[in-house]
Amino acid sequence: MTGWWRRNRWALLALPFVLLLAAGAGSYRVWNFWNPYELTDPVAGRSGEPVRFTHTLEDDRGSYTVDLTVTAADPVPADHFTDQEGMMHYFPRSEGSRVWRTDLTVQADPASPLTGCQVRLVDGLGRATLYRTSPLGGEASLGLPGSPCVPPGAPGPSPDFGFGLEEPAATRPATYTVPVYVRTAQDFVPESIEIWWETPWHLSIDVDADAEADAGEEG
Amino acid sequence: MSVAAELATRWAGRAGTIAFVLVALALGRVVGDQVPSPIDSYARPHEVVASQGRPVQLRAATITVDGVTVSRSFQTSSSLYESPGIFVLADVTFTPTLEDSALGHVEIVDRQGRSFTVTRTGGNTCPLTAPGLPTRCSVVLELPPDALPGATLRLGTDGTDTAYQDLAVVDLGLDAQDAQLAADAEPLEPREPLLEEGG
């Protein structure tokens, strides 16, 4: 047997390095198949302070740039929302849940396409809940916009994905405030709000939620 | 020994070696085809067997089957469905762990291996739910009466493709007698998790 070890000694010496090299060569999968699809590249900020976010994306006409400055308020509990017509709707209640409202004040060039953002709340345990209208229930899926970063009445330009959508008539104001409602578990206290158009780049704003605030109050 | 004889012996030996290698390759192939593919075994759903009333911890959520009832009909907020077979309703409590999730895979498998899924509108009242939020909801499936004995309910969070999923597998505890009970039972009423009542 010593003969075999002796004959293969160089290969045996090289083996640990070869194994390391093989693992390293496979590590591209983390970068190619995981990293780009998760929120791994944040622009950080704090509630009450404006944060600038610019992100160049592609549509059918080429590239366009999302460019905005966001100031997030601290999340407060909410029991209702007001739709575009000014009608007030209560959120249906469900045992063990509550709805948080986080106001985002946005400053942006009215020509910058800002539609199609996604927003989620993250708590101290790493739990994350997306802004979606259907879990809010009741009138929310009809009365709230599918994407919350632009005012529903004047969303401004959209990226062109070849759907032939007409540009909306109303010009988006240069500064506006939109509420973001998210239904979470009762014991979920948001610690940050994350906003993105395309992963992995995103805004991550630390917030100081006020769980004791009056849910009925209009922000 | 003549040169020709020596060559013949050498070639015979070589042919023997070649034959041996070919037979070894063929044998390897036959054995390899019999062994299950490693991909199949990775992709097979991970089944967590539990009984009714016991929480099952899956990767994305904790699921409890609270109870099972059977009837010939089932009532949603908008319609009453009647079946020539049997509706099986399972009350489910569903709590996502870290991310929003829904009860994407709902299936009953009977003793013969037949698979039944939700076929009627309103047959799965479990909505997309936030992490940590227990949702009390129901699933309703329609089976022929002979599928009841020994049928198991399989629940998962990731949609109908069960590859790589973990599934809660719960024995429904039904038998032939339940098929008769179903004939006289009241219409099933699925639980609705959101309560429509204002402030």
Residue B43: half-sphere exposure toward Cβ, Cα within 13 Å: 8
Q: What is the pLDDT of residues B125-152, one digit of tens each?
A: 998 899 999 999 999 999 999 999 999 9
For residues B16 and B81, state if they share a domain: no
- Interchain proximity A134–B100, CB inside 8 Å: no
Are B94 and B178 found together in one domain? yes
Residues B132 and B180 in one domain: yes
Domain assignment of residue B195, yes or no: no
The amino acid at A218? E
Which residues in chain A are contacts of B136 at CB distance < 8 A?
Answer: 95
SS3 A21: helix
Mean pLDDT (whole number) for B32-51: 84
| Shortest CA distance from A182: residue in chain B | B130
Is the same domain home to B125 and B154? yes
> With 90 as the cut, is the pLDDT of residue A216 above it?
no
B98–A92 C-beta distance less than 8 A:
no
Fold classified for A41-206: Immunoglobulin-like (2.60.40)
Q: Is residue B24 one of the residues assigned to a domain?
A: yes
3 state DSSP class of A52: strand
As for how many domains chain B has, the answer is 2
Half-sphere exposure in the Cβ direction for B64 (13 Å, CA): 10
Alpha-helix residue ranges (DSSP H) falling in chain A: 2-7, 9-26, 28-29, 140-143
CB B122, CB B76: distance < 8 Å: yes
**Confidence at residue A154, expressed as pLDDT on a 0 to 100 scale:** 86
What's the order of all strands across the beta sheet hosting A190-196?
Answer: A41-46, A201-206, A190-196, A118-123, A128-130
Look at residue B180 and tell me if it is in a domain: yes
Quick one: three-class SS letters along chain B?
CCHHHHHHHHHHHHHHHHHHHHHHHHHHHHHHHHCCCHHHHHHCCEEEEECCCCCEECCCEEEEEEEEEEEEEEECCCCEEEEEEEEEEEEEEEEECCECECCCEEEEECCCCCEEECCCCCCECCCCECCCCCEEEEEEEEECHHHCCCCEEEEECCCCCCCCCEEEEEECCCCHHHHHHHHHCCCECCCCCCECCCC
0.90 surpassed by complex ipTM: no
Is B197 domain-assigned? no
Contact A91, A82 (CB under 8 A): no
Residue of A nearest to B194 (CA): A94
pLDDT in tens, B68-118: 999 999 998 888 999 999 999 999 999 999 999 999 999 999 999 999 999
- pLDDT tens-place string over residues A82-100: 988 888 999 988 888 999 9
C-alpha to C-alpha distance for B93 and B57, rounded to whole angstroms: 12
Assess whether pLDDT exceeds 70 at residue B197.
Answer: no
pLDDT tens, residue by residue, A111-133 = 888 988 999 999 999 999 999 98
B198 has pLDDT over 50:
no
pLDDT for B141 equals 95
Residue A165 confidence class, pLDDT cut points 50, 70, 90:
low
Residue A160 pLDDT > 80: no
**Minimal CA–CA distance to B193: which of B151, B143, B130?**
B130
Question: Does the distance separating the beta carbons of B100 and A132 come in below 8 Å?
Answer: yes
Provide the token pair at A158: 């959209």
Give CA B100 to chain center in angstroms. Answer: 21
The domain that contains B90 carries what CATH number?
2.60.40.1240
Q: Which residue of B has its CA nearest to A189?
A: B132
Q: A137 falls in which pLDDT band (50, 70, 90)?
A: confident
Residues B53 and B9 in one domain: no
Instruction: Using an 8 Å CB-CB cutoff, list residues of chain A that contact chain B.
Output: 79-80, 90, 92-97, 125-130, 132, 134-135, 137-138, 182-188, 216
Domain ranges of chain A: 1-37, 41-206
Q: Determine whether the interchain pair B130/A126 forms a contact, defined as Cβ–Cβ distance below 8 Å.
A: no
Q: Are residues B86 and B124 in the same domain?
A: yes
The whole-angstrom distance between residue A135's C-alpha and the CA centroid of its chain comes to 17
Task: Choose from A89, A127, A132 for mutation: most chain B CBs within 10 A.
Answer: A127
Question: Cα angle vertex A16, ends A11, A18, to 5°?
Answer: 70
Write out the residue range of the structural domain in which residue B155 sits.
46-184
Closest CA to A117 of A192, A175, A194: A194
Asked if residue B148 is part of any domain, the answer here is: yes
Same domain, B51 and B19: no
- Shared domain for B61 and B142, answered yes or no, is yes
Which residues, listed in sequence order, are joined to residue A184 by a DSSP beta bridge? A98
- Give the number of other Cβ atoms within 10 Å of residue A117's Cβ: 20
- Which residues does chain B have within 8 Å of residue A132's beta carbon, measured at their own beta carbons? 100, 128
Q: Are residues B162 and B68 in the same domain?
A: yes
